[in-house]
Amino acid sequence: MAISDQDKHNLQIVHSAPLVSIDLIIKDSRGQVLLGRRVNRPARGYWFVPGGRITKNEKIADAIKRISRTELGIEISLPDTQLLGVFEHMYDENYLGEEGINTHYVVLAFASELDSGLEILPDDQHAEMKWWPIDQLLSNPDVHPYTKHYLVRS
């Protein structure tokens, strides 16, 4: 499969610089955490918290709204979150699976609470979405270690 000019450009950025992203650690009133099974690289096949890159000139508050709207179908505002911290995620692969290019994220992790009765449908990045009790997700090998790291610190 031929790589488009846009993908070549994006790969150069992934190769040369860290990406800044936001992860949303969404809990319900029972303390369960919302995770999605990832369809895309990196971390494809793992259960992971919703999140995404911040785009050039996008304010953090706008990124939180966009990411929550896209991945959850609802809009979360910055005042409805709490910053858990800044994290680094490094993967040996990139979104296209091109050899020799790893991915480095600087992640701003924000926590928020949603109604436990809310059904979140999968989007194009997740095969399924599910509420997890914390003890079960911490012991499940299909939950990505970076997701677990958020929960042992919070």
Report the CATH number at residue 102: 3.90.79.10
- At residue 91, the pLDDT reads 96
Confidence of residue 116 (pLDDT cuts 50, 70, 90): low
Total domains in the chain come to: 1
pLDDT digits 0-9 by tens, 68-111: 999 999 999 999 999 999 999 999 999 998 999 999 999 999 99
Residue 120 sits in which domain range? 5-153
- At residue 3, the pLDDT reads 85
The answer, yes or no, to whether residue 42 has pLDDT greater than 80, is yes
- DSSP code string of the chain: -PPPHHHHHHHHHHHHSPEEEEEEEEE-TTS-EEEEEE-SSSSTTSEE--EEEPPTT--HHHHHHHHHHHHHSS---GGG-EEEEEEEEEESS-TT--TT--EEEEEEEEEEE--TT------TTEEEEEEE-HHHHHH-TTB-HHHHHHHHH-
- At residue 2, the pLDDT reads 80
